Amino acid sequence: MTGDRKDDHVRLAHAQHTTGTEPPPGGPPTPNQFDEVRFVHHALAGTDREKISLATRFAGVEWPVPLYINAMTGGSPRTGEINRDLAVAARETGLPIATGSMSPYLKDPGTASTFTPVRREHPDGFVLANLNAEATPEQARRAVGLLDANALQIHINTVQETVMPEGDRSFAHWATGIERIAAAVDVPVVVKEVGFGLSGRTVRELASLGVRAADVAGSGGTDFARIENGRRNRPDYAYLEGWGLSTPAALLDARDCGLPLLASGGVRNPLDITRALALGARAVGASGPFLTTLLDGGVDALVRHITTWLDHLTSLMTLLGAHSPDALADCDVLLTGSLRAFSLDRDLV
């Protein structure tokens, strides 16, 4: 059953990124709130491309690039192949990679082989294991151990669980669960949403639980309410589609709340990566766009996709005069439209 659900997620996420929500190659991006983050153009700000370093650091972690393949899948034969292919692309481009939730492995150790390709194909890479807050400390150690993971992501997904008829309905103990896991594993714990965003209030609370970083994983890209609604004929929760904080709004809200921030959710192109870094993210993740390229064009296409994004990110940093990802935070940025209204309302600017 879990394997079927994982296959459904891949199918419906792929459909979301190919039927009307994703632009034709080379076309303008589907609108989202990243459009409301604009760089002030300074025509003489540019620097020399060879002076740019993409390296980034947070929570004692050093990555060669500020881009990673975010959590997606595992648990069925097909998703095992996808994990293998994602890991090959990560290895070829030097990207860190997260697996999808390893709950299937905790329920059925026979599914281990759908997760282990991530480490096998990327033996020297930075690998993040992924679990929910229901996992016990012992289970968390087992998941990290299976992949020899360098970090552990814990996802919080109350909206997705609510839309799923079989989903969890008790969330009050999740904070304690996160705290116990963070104390039990000897790798940094990163807490993430799954596309509905982490607010500043949430990040402040996470900082008190022993978590080392927060991936705001906001709305604007893959919508898990839509995915779960798409799994049934008569969705009960259609009105929850679009719920949540967008990734730029979450970054603004959660800045200076006690944890280094990662950004994901709705990242469409290298300009969105640059925008997220300018809003304070230490690194930027993508899931749906990478999955779609892999399913449509195979590993080679995904390697080209990632290589182009890194090449363009370097070009944008060169024209903005930012020698490193964290230097982008010094760029002049204008917020417009609803994002500006949100920031004013929340007293963030």
Q: Is 101 marked as a binding-site residue?
A: yes
Nearer to ligand FNR, 187 or 320 (CB): 187
Site string for ligand FNR, 196-235 (x = CB under 6 A): ---------------------x---xx-------------
Q: Is 343 marked as a binding-site residue?
A: no
Among 32, 33, 56, 70, binds ligand FNR (CB under 6 A): 70
Q: Is 324 marked as a binding-site residue?
A: no
Among 33, 73, 111, 293, binds ligand FNR (CB under 6 A): 73
Query: What 3 state SS string does the chain have?
Result: CHHHHHHHHHHHHHHHCCCCCCCCCCCCCCCCHHHHEEECCCCCCCCCHHHCCCCEEECCEEECCCEEECCCCCCCHHHHHHHHHHHHHHHHHCCCEECCCCHHHHHCHHHHHHCCHHHHHCCCCCEEEEEECCCCHHHHHHHHHHHCCCEEEEECCHHHHHHCCCCCCCCCCHHHHHHHHHHHCCCCEEEECCCCCCCHHHHHHHHCCCCCEEECCCECCCCHHHHHHHCCCCCCCHHHCCCCCEHHHHHHHHCCCCCCEEEECCCCCHHHHHHHHHCCCCEEEECHHHHHHHHHHHHHHHHHHHHHHHHHHHHHHHHHCCCCHHHHHHCCEEECHHHHHHHHHCCCC
- By CB under 6 A, residue 267 contacts ligand FNR: yes
Which residue stretch of 137-145, 173-181, 192-200, 317-325 sits at the interface with ligand FNR (rule: CB under 6 A)? 192-200
- Token representation of residue 8: 């459904």
- By CB under 6 A, residue 9 contacts ligand FNR: yes
Q: Is 71 marked as a binding-site residue?
A: yes
Q: Is 40 marked as a binding-site residue?
A: no
Residues 109 and 100: their CA atoms lie apart, in Å, by 15
- By CB under 6 A, residue 61 contacts ligand FNR: no
Residue 267 C-beta: closest distance to ligand FNR, Å: 6
User: Who's near 27: CB < 8 A, 6+ residues apart?
Assistant: none
Nearer to ligand FNR, 288 or 321 (CB): 288
Nearer to ligand FNR, 69 or 317 (CB): 69
Q: Quick one: which of 293, 260, 291, 292 has its CA closest to 277?
A: 260
- By CB under 6 A, residue 147 contacts ligand FNR: no
Residues 93 and 166: their CA atoms lie apart, in Å, by 38
Site for ligand FNR in 87-146 (CB under 6 A): 100-101, 130
Nearer to ligand FNR, 162 or 264 (CB): 264
Residue 100 C-beta: closest distance to ligand FNR, Å: 3
Nearer to ligand FNR, 188 or 289 (CB): 289
Q: Is 130 marked as a binding-site residue?
A: yes
Nearer to ligand FNR, 126 or 320 (CB): 126
- By CB under 6 A, residue 268 contacts ligand FNR: no
- By CB under 6 A, residue 328 contacts ligand FNR: no
Nearer to ligand FNR, 52 or 273 (CB): 273
Count of residues touching ligand FNR (by CB under 6 A): 27
Residues 94 and 68: their CA atoms lie apart, in Å, by 9
Q: Is 287 marked as a binding-site residue?
A: yes
**Binding-site residue ranges for substrate:** 5-6, 160
* Residues near ligand FNR, by CB under 6 A: 9-10, 13, 70-73, 100-101, 130, 153, 155, 192, 194-195, 217, 221-222, 264-267, 286-289, 291
